Structure 1
Amino acid sequence: MATTTLTHAQPQHRPQLRTATTTGRADHASPATPPPLTHRAPALDGLRTVAILAVVLYHLHVPQFEGGFTGVTVFFVLSGFLITTLLLGERRRTGRVRLGSFWVKRLLRLYPALLAFVVVGLLLWNWVGDYKGASFSAGEAAFIALTYTGNLFRAFWDTTQGVFAHTWSLSMEEQFYLVWPPVLVLLAALRVRRRWLLTGLGVLVVGASALSWASYRTPSGGATPDVYFSPVLGVVPLAIGCALALLLDDERVRVLAAGVLGRVATWLGLGLLVGVLLWIDDDWTRHASTFGVVLPLTGLVSAVLIGGLVSVRSPVSAVLAWTPVSWFGRRVSYSAYLWHPLVIALLGTFAIGPWGTVGLVAAVLVVSVGAAYAVEVPVERFRARARAARSAQRTE
């Protein structure tokens, strides 16, 4: 999951991306409308909290959360937006994008927690490995999870990895991290205009949505259709997030979004997203329109909400930015996504009735916080010390 931590940096007089700037006046932009996320956006961390809670409640089969799986769509839009914003910001500040550094940072941010989860999953495989079925042995399932190929196996070979099955979405994001940054850098080097980039992303969204609809095959029983895990569908919300970042990189769009338009976008996006969540019922897997229309539209609605949240202050952004809510999204949401199926697989049979569900949610929270501070925090501290040491060496 992409981080929302983007520190402010003073603009430098370097060659600029035509996709990352506007003409003339943008180089002298008013401080009132800086590029997006030059400071932390805690409301987006809060949105992560809401999204992961929806996913957990969906997997616990809580009534009225049959559409909670759309939380993954929200995460994808956030990733597309944040990563593209980060890349454009780096180019603006330094005149280039260091792809190697970008990939190493992504790997160090995400892989240690995944590795820890997989190791524990292997140790407990005899008790949890067949959670929702498993097509592979423990070692094979672990290999698929650690190589970020789960979405491909689930989409094209109709298989599942037991308690590691949910790592398909992490695979989709990692594949996005590999492909989109060099594509963006190449298009920038070719001086492709923003409007053509947006047009290309729009064509990609429409084409992938139509192909997802055409690829739909009715699943047996209550299984999830293979198309849901396909990179063809997964690229739709990611591309929508990329398009939002390119739009908000335009000074004129930021000026418009900083006013009434941003407030309308916030409330409209929130209302529609909650509406989708509550409207979807438990037969969502039986309709091709879910994958060709509903999920792509959910991505668009998520982008509208995100655009509003980063553009104006509102009661919605204030609630999402409330410290406990934003802290959980920033610090624990990735861990919660990784570990919640393992907790459900271990304890689900003991959870009876509403209070059993409450107990499971509490267990997920405890395990997620513990895992975050046992793995992610030490890794981040190590990375910080390494950066400080490198900086000290350069100044000597």
Structure 2
Amino acid sequence: MSDATGHAAYRDRSHFRCLDGLRFLCIAMVLWHHAQPVQSPDWQLLDRGFLGVDFFFVLSGFLITTLLLRERARTGTFSLRNFYIRRALRILPVYGFVVTALCVYYIGIKGETQYLQAVPFYYLFLSNFLTEHVPTLSITWSLSVEEQYYLLWPLLLMLLPSRVWVPLTLALVALNVGLAMMPPADPPLATGPLVFRLPNSTYAPIILGSLAAILLHRRGSYDPLRPLCAHRATPLAALALIALIAQLGPFDMRGLQNLAIHLLMTLTLMALVVRERGALQALLVRPPLVRIGQVSYGIYLYHLIALDLTARLGLRFGLPEIIGEGPALWLLLIAYSLLSWAMAEVSFRTLEAWFRRFRPKGRPPETVEAEKDPRQQTHTGGPTKKPIAR
């Protein structure tokens, strides 16, 4: 099989083989971040697992924009209705289940009514502006960022001429980074439990992912970028630079340091989809990594619940170190990661599988989203095969 790095081959490719493996790396960083089995002031890098969420943003921006651009190239436009239906069926079932279950447990059963005012904002996808969260729901901030972006970005692509897309994304990134670097307003812009601010460059990575999709979709920008993206060393070198900046840069990552990391993440992603052979690529297509990547959305939503359950079991069985430093933290990391994966698998095969039946019928625009049921057969370099009858 050739590397298939030409523009026509890239546009014809219906599935990017490395991206599920990249999802594995992202969720592994998040799982590490919440267990932290190694904590050392000399290794700042080990405290940067939250960057996995930023990498998820880059990936999401790239995939949804590629999906829309390919549909537009094939039909002359794209269906907002089908886009929103696909997004809703992908995100809402497990999200709604987790949010509802935890709100019922903590507020209805445990009586912690102080969280009542926050509840509506989880369903409105505004939790990224909440100042206090229902326990284990703090991670929903990232889903709010994505949903806000999904709501607005396709409208901009549809309403604005294509010649302004690249300048628009660059302007939005600059605006986001600039606002994040500004000192917080005093008093802050707030209403009820919400405070509207950008403590970090929250939207920049997802916008950069969309910019990557636009640049690779166009032959005029793909061809100049191809030598860099197709070089064997590019993805590993980009990841090494991310690690170096995370280790040696200031502890406060807002501003240009964060932007540099997001740009390198974007370059890594572009390299993986332009060239699908290489040392890193060979690792990312390993079946266990691919499978974990396919259910990483569920792992993300369930992992704090799994962490809480695992820690409680550890205490019950006489492992007090489970909440402090020591070898038990490695056990915690392994145990809660496996439990998160198990919970995500059950969810994927039951709750999420039931809702996947309602996806829009007919040939999908392109199966670059990697949302398909793994039991469906797909191949690279051409249209997706029909699902196996079952």
TM over 0.5: yes
Residue correspondence of structure 1 range 320-339 to structure 2 within 5 A: 320-330=284-294, 332-339=295-302
CA distance in 1, matches of 2:182, 2:147: 26
Shift of 1:228: 11
Match of 2:351 among 348, 370, 375: 375
1:24 maps to: none
For 1:42-53, list aligned pairs within 5 A.
42-53=17-28
Instruction: Give the counterpart letter for 1:150 in structure 2.
Output: S
Where do residues 93-108 of structure 1 align in structure 2 (5 Å cutoff)? 93-108=74-89
Which gives a bigger RCO, structure 1 or 2 (Cα 8 Å, sep 6+)?
A: 2
Rounded to whole Å, the distance in 2 between the matches of 1:379 and 1:231 is: 35
Q: Distance in 2 between matches of 1:31 and 1:51?
A: 28
Secondary structure at the residue paired with 1:165? Answer: coil
Of Structure 1 and Structure 2, the greater helix share is in 1
SS for the counterpart of 1:42 is: coil
Sort the Cα spacing of 1:49 and 1:128 in 2 relative to 1 into closer, same or farther, 3 A. farther
Structure 1 residue runs of 5 or longer lacking an equivalent are 1-29, 218-225, 389-396
Structure-2 separation of matches of 1:279 and 1:366: 36
Question: Structure 2 CA distance, aligned partners of 1:77 and 1:129?
Answer: 38
Identity %: 26
In structure 2, the CA distance between the partners of 1:144 and 1:73, relative to structure 1 (3 Å rule), is same
Task: Answer whether contact 2:11 2:217 (CA < 8 A) is retained.
Answer: yes
Show the 5 A alignment for 1:32-181.
33-36=8-11, 38-63=13-38, 65-125=46-106, 136-137=114-115, 139-153=116-130, 158-181=131-154
Deviation at 1:62, TM superposition (A): 3.0
Deviation, 1:279, is 5.2
Whole-angstrom CA distance in 2 between matches of 1:56 and 1:315: 24
Q: What CA distance in whole angstroms lies between the structure 1 residues aligned with 2:165 and 2:23? A: 27
**d(CA) in 2 for partners of 1:57, 1:151:** 22
Task: Please list every run of 5 or more consecutive structure 2 residues that lacks an aligned counterpart in the other structure.
Answer: 39-44, 186-193, 315-321, 323-327, 363-390
The answer to whether the Cα contact below 8 Å between 2:229 and 2:274 also exists between their aligned partners in 1 is no
- Residue 308 of structure 2 aligns with which residue? 345
Contact 1:135–1:162 (CA<8 Å) still a contact in 2? no
Contact map agreement 1:265 1:307 (CA 8 A) in 2? no
TM-score (norm 1): 0.75
CA gap 1:229/1:43 in 2 versus in 1, 3 angstroms:
farther
How far does the alpha carbon of each residue in 1:173-199 deviate from its partner, in whole angstroms, 9 at most, with x for none?
0000000100111113xxx41xx4222
Q: Distance in 1 between matches of 2:238 and 2:177?
A: 20
The offset of 1:168, in angstroms, is: 0.7
Kindly tell me the number of residue pairs found equivalent between the two proteins: 330
Query: What CA RMSD, in Å, does the superposition of the two structures yield over aligned residues?
Result: 3.1
Q: Distance in 1 between matches of 2:205 and 2:19?
A: 16
State whether residues 310 and 332 of structure 2, in contact with CA within 8 Å, keep that contact through their aligned partners in structure 1: no
Going from structure 1 to structure 2, the CA distance change for 1:123 and 1:65 (only over 3 Å counts) comes to farther
**Deviation for aligned residue 1:236:** 0.7
